Amino acid sequence: MTKPAARRTAAAALMLAPALAPACAAAQPAHDRAARASWSAPAARPGHGAFRPGASGLGDPYYPSAGNGGYDVSHYDIALTYRPRDHGLAATTRITATATQDLSAFDLDFAGNRIGSVTVDGASAAYRRSGQELVVTPKKGLPKGAAFTVAVTYAGRPQTSKDPDLGRTGWIPTRDGVATLSQPFGSATWFPLNDHPADKATFAYRITVPKGLAVVANGEPGGTERHGSATTFRWSSDRPMAGYLAMIAIGRFAVLDGHTPGGVRSVSAYDPAVPGDVKGLQRITGEVTDWARGLFGPYPFASTGGVVDDESVGYALETQNRPTYPGGVTRVLAVHELAHQWFGDSVSIRQWKDIWLNEGFATYAEWLWHERHGGASAAYTFRQAYERVPGDPVWKIRPADPGRAHLFDYFPVYLRGAMTLHALRTAVGDRAFFAILRGWAGQHAYGNAGTADFVRYAEQVSGKRLGGLFQAWLSTPAKPPMPARLG
């Protein structure tokens, strides 16, 4: 993610550093605050062992009720009709999942909208809502290991989440349609899901809009069908994706479907009301995607691209395959969001406190871009950031555990995260450092990884003991010593 204040070159951002430390940054999603009604498990069914409800959360220390336990989603199929009159929707989301315990009931994360029906394997299921938890009780228990499909039919005008620092998340009305930007928990405003990056799944969308509007989404386009004055756009992705990266953009768009100069399919969309054009977006996307492949390894998805929507979306986000940019794009912004395709989207965090593995890497990619395109060296950018006096309270926030209120703070997470990578580079040298970046993206492609995994991997590749360096840079609430080459 790049917040508006961070949407500048790294050097400019550094000069403005004091303004980039908002007092409290992170979204505090309603579902996390919602008190969860206590309830007792239904009695075990004879012959089925102890069928119990799945947990209402995945145990993330910052957001204990985010995501749900007892099952693992493999696929979301979202069929949605957009209603321009009030930016509303009518939809059915089908979720294919596997029970990871004997399940008597399970939760989905879902906010707002009116539910018409819930079925499990085609049979209607009982449900009730408790804050952002949708509790589903199927007619029969689901044995551990069983695949099942839950379908939720709903309609309404999704409630956009608003955060004083991050801006709007979830279903965001634009001048001519809707965009979805959902980090960390906006997706539950427009479809029911297991809302935690630890449960990644493939996606298919069938989005129906009135004539004149177009739809862009994650994955690759699967063609359109006309029904009278409406058109259904199909998009799908067969690579796993964290729920917060799910993106549909509805509106008037100029669309280009081509390839980067290096041969990666690239699909971009541009709101014609915004200065600039889709050709420029494709050119920047191609340049940056190919440059990043040279550094980070094979592009992890079947297509790249971008969406430029009007500035009312507020901030850029690394929505999978094609980042969303508000009101235009610059190369450096594209570098940040496209670097996330490797770091954040393909390799996803295990828990939200690992967020520096996304933002520190995307920010360091900006430094590398400048360094390799005639701008400031990464060493210079590092020194600019490192100049902050030791007593400055921003050093107290630890990148590997910034606290929920500081999850998206620019200095401790983005800049100190990037400084950590530069400290690693200084300690192990360029050859080992770039092997670590590339190998990390490959080793954990399409999966999840945390800070401890990264420390282990960096030690393994470099053959050096790096515990002290990472302890100082990631887990100590003080300014770390200037890094030096390790012998």
Q: What is the DSSP letter of 343?
A: B
Q: Least CB distance from residue 74 to Zn ion, whole Å? A: 27
Residue 1 or residue 278: which is nearer to Zn ion going by CB? 1
Rounded (10°) angle between helices 356-371 and 378-386: 130
Q: Least CB distance from residue 222 to Zn ion, whole Å? A: 28
Q: Assess 349 for contact with Zn ion (CB under 5 A).
A: no
Judged by CB under 5 A, which of 362, 436, 449, 461 binds Zn ion? 362
The stretch among 67-75, 189-197, 359-367, 448-456 that binds Zn ion (CB under 5 A) is 359-367
The stretch among 147-155, 226-234, 355-363, 450-458 that binds Zn ion (CB under 5 A) is 355-363
Q: Name 386's Cβ contacts closer than 8 Å, sequence gap at least 6.
A: 419, 482
Tell me if 56 sits within 8 A of 133, measured CB to CB: yes
The stretch among 178-186, 279-287, 361-369, 444-452 that binds Zn ion (CB under 5 A) is 361-369
Q: Which two tokens stand for residue 196?
A: 């935690």
Q: Assess 181 for contact with Zn ion (CB under 5 A).
A: no
Residue 1 or residue 385: which is nearer to Zn ion going by CB? 1
Q: Least CB distance from residue 358 to Zn ion, whole Å? A: 6
The stretch among 35-43, 117-125, 362-370, 418-426 that binds Zn ion (CB under 5 A) is 362-370
Q: What is the DSSP letter of 258?
A: E
Instruction: Give bridge partners of residue 325 from the DSSP assignment.
Output: 308
Residue that the structure tokens 């060296």 belong to: 377
Tell me if 459 sits within 8 A of 470, measured CB to CB: no
Q: Assess 1 for contact with Zn ion (CB under 5 A).
A: yes
Q: Omega of the bond prior to 184 within 30 degrees of 0, cis?
A: yes
Residues in the chain: 487
Q: Least CB distance from residue 325 to Zn ion, whole Å? A: 12
DSSP one-letter string for 122-145: TEE-EEEEETTEEEEE-SS-B-TT
Residue that the structure tokens 């969309």 belong to: 269
The stretch among 1-9, 20-28, 161-169, 217-225 that binds Zn ion (CB under 5 A) is 1-9
Sign of CA dihedral 364, 366, 372, 377: negative
Q: Assess 242 for contact with Zn ion (CB under 5 A).
A: no
Q: Least CB distance from residue 362 to Zn ion, whole Å? A: 4
Residue 13 or residue 362: which is nearer to Zn ion going by CB? 362
Q: Least CB distance from residue 44 to Zn ion, whole Å? A: 46
Q: Assess 368 for contact with Zn ion (CB under 5 A).
A: no
Q: Least CB distance from residue 316 to Zn ion, whole Å? A: 8
Q: Which two tokens stand for residue 203?
A: 């996606």
Q: Assess 394 for contact with Zn ion (CB under 5 A).
A: no
Residue that the structure tokens 């980042």 belong to: 323
What's at 257, amino acid-wise?
D
Q: Least CB distance from residue 232 to Zn ion, whole Å? A: 32
Residue 1 or residue 79: which is nearer to Zn ion going by CB? 1
> What is the C-alpha separation between 72 and 147, in angstroms, rounded?
9
The residues of the shown chain that bind Zn ion, judged by CB under 5 A, are 1, 359, 362
